[in-house]
């Protein structure tokens, strides 16, 4: 079921590796840094979520229990939430590391990168820029000015990635995209 998707991810990860390498002077991501996993709604397509579930099922029972407990707590918090967009820590974040890293979604793979979104006509910066991390040396927060010469013109939004030329060639059908917790409702 996931053979073509895994081929797609291998190619996509290769493209991302080049982007991260080209921007390495402004990237401070490292193992254990999980700021990007602490607050979001994490949009996942149906395909991505199915793949993530495969990773979850491969976890040891005790780790699955920890994740399941986090999910139940988040679902309860979300049901009581009165705002428009419920942001939360990813339930797969354990000890500041992703317990399903190989199976993570597109949004997780692209976290940390800066790119120019032609469709929306603006540069998307990772949220960690506000914490003095990625791109903070080339971004003036007060004036909202980025002084970076080589901003990649590539749309890394999940919907665009999953419908790009590579995905079409491999016949990837990703399905609907929803916030992660919406897939987790029982």
Task: Tell me the whole-structure pTM to 2 decimals.
Answer: 0.91
pLDDT of residue 185: 75
Token pair belonging to 42: 């994490």
Cα dist. 31→10, 95, 111, 168 in Å?
Answer: 20, 11, 13, 32
Length of the chain equals: 186
* 163: Cβ contacts below 8 Å, ≥ 6 apart: 174
pLDDT of residue 65: 97
At 28-79, the pLDDT tens digits run 988 878 989 999 999 999 999 999 999 999 999 999 999 999 999 999 999 9
If one compares 90 and 154, the residue with the highest pLDDT of the two is: 90
pLDDT of residue 186: 52
Instruction: State the Cα angle at 107 between 109 and 161, rounded to 5°.
Output: 90
Q: Is it the case that residue 125 has pLDDT exceeding 60?
A: yes
Instruction: Name which of 4-13, 90-99, 131-140 the model is least confident about.
Output: 131-140
User: How confident is residue 1, by pLDDT bands cut at 50, 70 and 90?
Assistant: confident
Where along the chain do its domains lie?
3-184
Give φ, ψ of 183 to 5 degrees.
Answer: -75, -25
């Amino acid at each position: 079921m996931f053979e073509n998707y895994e081929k797609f991810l291998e190619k996509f990860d290769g493209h991302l590796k080049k982007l991260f390498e080209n921007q390495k002077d402004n990237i401070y991501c490292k193992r254990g840094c999980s700021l990007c996993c602490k607050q979001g709604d994490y949009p996942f397509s149906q395909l991505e979520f199915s793949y993530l579930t495969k990773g979850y099922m491969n976890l040891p029972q005790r780790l699955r229990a920890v994740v399941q407990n986090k999910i139940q707590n988040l679902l309860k918090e979300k049901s009581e939430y009165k705002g428009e967009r419920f942001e939360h820590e990813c339930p797969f974040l354990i000890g500041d590391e992703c317990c399903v890293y190989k199976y993570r979604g597109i949004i997780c793979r692209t976290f940390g990168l800066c790119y120019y979104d032609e469709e929306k006509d603006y540069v998307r910066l990772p949220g960690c820029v506000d914490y003095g991390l990625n791109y903070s040396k080339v971004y003036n927060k007060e004036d909202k000015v980025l002084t970076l010469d080589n901003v990649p013109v590539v749309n890394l939004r999940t919907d665009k990635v999953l419908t790009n030329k590579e995905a079409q060639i491999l016949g990837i059908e990703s399905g609907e995209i929803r916030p992660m917790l919406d897939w987790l409702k029982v």
